[in-house]
Structure 1
Amino acid sequence: MTDVPVLRTGSFLLRPMTYDDWPAYAELMASDRAQFMGGPYKASGAWALFCHDVAQWALFGHGALMIEEQATGACLGQVGINHGPLFPEKELGWLVYPGAEGRGVAFEAAESFRDWAFSSLKLTTLVSYIDPGNTRSIALAERLGATLDSAAPRNDPRDLVYRHVPQMAS
């Protein structure tokens, strides 16, 4: 079993998921905001994804971390490195809860987790699978320095694939 890290950024604590994180996660995944993540989901589908995020730590040595604001202790979203049968390559993904968008939360968390993956896991690449209509995530991937990789494998042929490489890590 891999120990789940706790990472500190300038503003956030990236920490292991707990059952207390489930209600806000389930609410987001049931909402229209989950459309870019294959949703909206019923509770059973959201629970399966929640458990998938936790289980990946034991299976692959990476998974998801919750984004907690250090100043308030509020959970603002999640960042994760996904893999397994749902993802052809290791994917850097993020989600931010309502009210936390537009504050740089996803950028700071994704940048920190990406850099951790490259240095600690010695990964040579990560991808982000993004729905073409998710303009905010496309902009974030580009801000992180990822480039569009039209030849990358994907489960959903409509997804855009943005590739992250270690040279981009700060």
Structure 2
Amino acid sequence: MRGLPLIPTLETERLLLRAQTMQDWPAYAGLMMSDHAAFMEGPHALGDAWGLFCHDLAQWHLLGVGGLMIEERETGQCLGQVGISYGPLFPEHELGWFLFPGAKGKGYAFEAAGALRDWGFGVHGLTNIVSHIDPENHRSRKLAERLGAVLETDAERPGPEVLLYRHMAP
């Protein structure tokens, strides 16, 4: 019997990207059930938020990718999540991110997404990664561009209301 894949812990200058715990659930649920989840097909009902939380963790064991919580190293405060999704709902590896209210505008998402993207290319051996972004989510669009991703207007995507940005391996 094969063992389960390890969930990586990644460190950047300011951040620790780590597996989620039950201590992360209240803030995660609060975000997913609020208007802050509008660009993530929310707000979600409690059961749907729980399903998303479990999905982010289960992908590591099933597919070798998933969500990592973004923690500020200095304070231990959980700031949000970054993840690479794959599987039946994501035909290409998809890099996504969100921050909890109060953590935006400080470069945390850029730092976390860049670290996980680099892990995906380097350690996991991916050759390209995409980000699906709502056209009205200007902050995420700008972040994808800062990360070097390129908008593909003719790419297959989850729906016509979603933009696809492609991150290419160095």
Normalising by structure 2, we get a TM-score of 0.96
- Residue 157 (structure 1) shift: 1.7
Q: Does 1:89 align with 2:89?
A: no
Provide the rounded CA distance (Å) in 2 between the counterparts of 1:96 and 1:86: 22
Provide the rounded CA distance (Å) in 2 between the counterparts of 1:133 and 1:87: 21
- Residue 151 (structure 1) shift: 2.3
Q: Does 1:137 align with 2:140?
A: yes
Q: Does 1:23 align with 2:31?
A: no
- Residue 150 (structure 1) shift: 1.7
Alignment counterpart, residue 3 of structure 1, candidates 1, 6, 10: 6
Which residue of structure 2 lines up, in the alignment, with residue 50 of structure 1?
Answer: 53
Provide the rounded CA distance (Å) in 1 between the counterparts of 2:99 and 2:159: 22
- Residue 85 (structure 1) shift: 2.1
- Residue 53 (structure 1) shift: 0.3
Which residue of structure 1 lines up, in the alignment, with residue 82 of structure 2?
Answer: 79
Which residue of structure 1 lines up, in the alignment, with residue 73 of structure 2?
Answer: 70
Higher alpha-carbon deviation: 144-153 or 125-134: 144-153
Higher alpha-carbon deviation: 122-131 or 151-160: 151-160
The aligned amino acid for 2:53 is F
Which residue of structure 2 lines up, in the alignment, with residue 59 of structure 1?
Answer: 62
Q: How many residues align?
A: 167
SS in 2 for 1:90: strand
Provide the rounded CA distance (Å) in 2 between the counterparts of 1:47 and 1:126: 26
The aligned amino acid for 1:75 is C
Provide the rounded CA distance (Å) in 1 between the counterparts of 2:52 and 2:88: 12
Gap runs ≥5 in structure 2: none
Provide the rounded CA distance (Å) in 1 between the counterparts of 2:19 and 2:109: 16
SS in 1 for 2:90: coil
Question: Are the counterparts in 2 of residues 88 and 155 from structure 1 also a CA contact under 8 Å?
Answer: no
Normalising by structure 1, we get a TM-score of 0.96
Question: Are the counterparts in 2 of residues 145 and 164 from structure 1 also a CA contact under 8 Å?
Answer: yes
The aligned amino acid for 1:112 is A
Percent same amino acid at aligned positions?
59
- Residue 149 (structure 1) shift: 1.1
The structure whose residues are more often strand, as a share, is 2
- Alignment RMSD, CA only? 0.7
Provide the rounded CA distance (Å) in 1 between the counterparts of 2:87 and 2:28: 21
- Residue 7 (structure 1) shift: 0.5
Q: Does 1:122 align with 2:111?
A: no
Give structure 1 regions of 4+ aligned residues with deviation exceeding 4 angstroms: none
